[in-house]
């Protein structure tokens, strides 16, 4: 844990703990919902059960009604209250009313029913009571009307039954919850196992192992592994750039620096001014070549670095060509040389890195100036599916069998002189690849030689 804190990782809690808390919250909410549903079901079941008993008792009383001498006689059967004795702690009350609402028999504290409701609530002696109402129609010569029978019972047994149903349901829910919690624990551990495999794979790697992660993971973690592999790939490319720069610098700079030192020692021992002038001239040439080599080494590393780190934006290739010519004119040494431009009227927009494209165009111009013949022309063309940014001159160019290796670093068969840095076309090729294009060389006519990069248009890149 301490090593992770030192590495800058911000720890925000265990994923297992978060999943456990989330599952516990879900189970708690489900438990509360089931408890409420069980209590509602218990109340409904108790209500229905005891209501049936009340209606049965009321129907038995209503069935015992008799007329004698024009008066209603009630002979309450014992069996009616036997049904209600199933709730021994509850009190039972009853009343029989004639069609005028007058009490015939029963408890005078019981109010006559108001309407035709079969069940209604009330109170008796300060206790809540549930009443059942049954109406019997009597049609005889001496009496014509309706008699209302009301039977009530306190609700203690109903509450006990509802609570018992709820308790039983909660016991079942608790048991199921424990089983689900155990299964959830196993499921969480199983779901996190691929992450632990990924952690072990990465932790076991040496600092020099930058190969892609190859661990079997579920689809949901596949995007994480893919992102990790892309990140490892970028680090690997940056390290390769660094190693390449160090190797090139140590190999390519050693010889010109040694030559400069040798020329300086000769200059120190020059016998006359004329010899001194010739040696200084050679030192100047060597210094210029060394400056060009150093510049190309750094540019090559910068181009590859920007390919991974800079987002492509909309670029007008005509502006790129103009900027490259302007910068070439500012840095050109020696005899003045005109560089022409062949640019179309309409914009040539593609997705690219303007700085990298300018560097590529400058290298093409430098190669044409060094090894081609004037006039030198920077051109931008619409080739239908692609755009072309390149340089044309009147020289013979390199032999066609050498074109395949032209983009290699320090190519031995590049067809250039030994004083060349050997990285000009390599930079151009790297820029083309970074823009999902390619470098091409062609000889459209006997007296023309062209080197250009083909870049996809914006619509193709977006597609």
Q: Give 167-202 pLDDT, tens digit per residue.
A: 888 888 888 888 888 887 888 777 778 778 887 888
Model confidence band, residue 1 (pLDDT cutoffs 50, 70, 90): very low
pLDDT, residue 10, reads: 60
Rounded distance between C-alpha atoms, residue 100 and residue 216, angstroms: 87
Residues 255-262 have a mean pLDDT of: 77
Residue 436 has pLDDT above 70, yes or no: yes
pLDDT, residue 319, reads: 93
Residue in the block written with tokens 């004639």: 98
pLDDT tens for each residue of 264-308: 877 777 777 777 888 888 887 777 777 767 776 677 667 766 666
DSSP states of 276-303 as a string?
HHHHHHHHHHHHHHHHHHHHHHHHHHHH
Q: Please provide the average confidence, as pLDDT, over all residues in the chain.
A: 78
Rounded distance between C-alpha atoms, residue 245 and residue 179, angstroms: 62
Rounded distance between C-alpha atoms, residue 150 and residue 55, angstroms: 9
Model confidence band, residue 13 (pLDDT cutoffs 50, 70, 90): low
pTM equals 0.50
Burial class (CB in 10 A: 0-12, 13-18, 19+), 170: middle
With the CA atoms of 381, 382, 384 and 386 taken in that order, what torsion angle do they form, in degrees rounded to the nearest 10?
Answer: 80
∠ Cα 307 309 315 (to 5°) = 60
Q: What percent of the chain stands above pLDDT 70?
A: 83
Residues 145-172 have a mean pLDDT of: 84
pLDDT, residue 387, reads: 93
pLDDT tens for each residue of 91-147: 888 888 887 888 888 888 888 787 778 888 888 888 898 888 888 887 776 667 788
Residue 62 has pLDDT above 80, yes or no: yes
Going by C-alpha positions, the residue among 376, 355, 381 that lies closest to residue 365 is 376
Residue 367 has pLDDT above 80, yes or no: yes
Spell 239-277 as b/e; 16+ CB within 10 A means b.
eebeeebeebeeebeeebeebbeebeeebeeeeeeeeee
Q: Using omega within 30 degrees of 0 as the cis cutoff, is the peptide bond preceding 320 cis? A: no
Q: Which CATH fold topology does 310-463 show? A: Heat Shock Protein 90 (3.30.565)
Residues of the chain with CATH 3.30.565.10: 310-463
pLDDT, residue 397, reads: 78
Model confidence band, residue 414 (pLDDT cutoffs 50, 70, 90): very low
Residues 6+ apart with CB under 8 A from 447: 394
pLDDT, residue 336, reads: 58
pLDDT, residue 410, reads: 52
Rounded distance between C-alpha atoms, residue 29 and residue 10, angstroms: 31
CATH 1.20.1300 applies to domain 207-308:
no
Most confident segment among 38-52, 134-148, 398-412: 38-52
Task: Identify the residue with better confidence: 386 or 460.
Answer: 386
pLDDT tens for each residue of 319-351: 999 998 888 754 444 445 778 899 998 999 988
Residue in the block written with tokens 């200084």: 280
pLDDT, residue 389, reads: 93
Residues of the chain with CATH 1.10.287: 207-308
Q: Report strand pairing: 376-382 vs 339-342.
A: parallel
Model confidence band, residue 419 (pLDDT cutoffs 50, 70, 90): very low
Residue 219 has pLDDT above 90, yes or no: no
Q: Count the neighbouring beta carbons within 10 Å of the beta carbon of residue 102.
A: 9
Using DSSP's 3-state secondary structure scheme, residue 410 falls into: coil
pLDDT, residue 380, reads: 93
Residue 412 has pLDDT above 70, yes or no: no
């Amino acid at each position: 844990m301490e090593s992770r804190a030192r590495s800058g990782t911000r720890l925000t809690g265990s994923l297992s703990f978060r999943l456990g808390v989330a599952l516990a919250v879900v189970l708690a909410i489900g438990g509360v919902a089931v408890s409420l549903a069980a209590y509602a079901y218990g109340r409904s079941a108790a209500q229905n059960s005891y209501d049936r008993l009340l209606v049965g008792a009321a129907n038995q009383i209503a069935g015992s009604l008799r007329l004698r001498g024009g008066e209603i006689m009630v002979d309450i059967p014992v069996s009616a209250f036997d049904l209600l004795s199933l709730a021994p702690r509850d009190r039972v009350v009853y009343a029989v009313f004639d069609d005028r609402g007058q009490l015939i028999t029963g408890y005078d504290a019981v109010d006559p029913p108001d309407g035709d409701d079969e069940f209604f609530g009330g109170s008796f002696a300060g206790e809540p009571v549930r009443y059942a109402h049954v109406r019997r129609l009597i049609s005889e010569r001496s009496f014509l009307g309706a008699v209302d029978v009301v039977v009530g019972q306190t609700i203690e047994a109903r509450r006990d039954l509802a609570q018992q149903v709820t308790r039983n349901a909660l016991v079942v829910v608790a048991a199921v919850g424990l089983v689900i919690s155990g299964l959830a624990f196993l499921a969480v551990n199983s779901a996190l196992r691929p992450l632990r495999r990924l952690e072990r794979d990465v932790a076991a790697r040496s600092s020099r192992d930058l190969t892609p992660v190859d661990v079997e993971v579920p689809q949901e973690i596949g995007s994480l592994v893919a992102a990790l592999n892309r990140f490892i790939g970028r680090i690997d490319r940056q390290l390769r750039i660094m190693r390449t720069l160090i190797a090139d610098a140590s190999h390519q700079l050693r010889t010109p620096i040694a030559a400069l030192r040798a020329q300086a020692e000769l200059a120190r021992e020059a016998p006359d001014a004329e010899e001194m002038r010739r040696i200084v001239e050679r030192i100047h040439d060597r210094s210029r070549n060394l400056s060009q080599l150093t510049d190309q080494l750094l540019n090559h590393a910068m181009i590859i670095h920007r390919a991974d780190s800079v987002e492509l934006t909309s670029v007008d290739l005509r502006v790129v060509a103009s900027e490259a010519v302007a910068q070439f004119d500012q840095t050109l040494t020696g005899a003045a040389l005109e560089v022409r431009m062949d640019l179309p009227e309409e914009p040539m927009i593609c997705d690219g890195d303007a700085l990298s494209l300018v560097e590529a165009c400058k290298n093409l111009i430098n190669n044409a100036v060094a090894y081609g013949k004037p006039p030198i022309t920077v051109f931008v063309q619409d080739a239908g599916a692609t755009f072309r940014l390149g340089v044309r001159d009147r020289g013979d160019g390199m032999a066609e069998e050498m074109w395949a290796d032209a983009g290699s670093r320090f190519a031995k068969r590049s067809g250039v002189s030994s004083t060349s840095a050997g990285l000009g076309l390599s930079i151009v090729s790297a820029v083309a690849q970074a823009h999902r294009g390619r470098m091409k060389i062609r000889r459209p006519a006997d007296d023309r030689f062209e080197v250009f990069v083909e870049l996809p248009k914006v619509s193709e890149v977006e597609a």
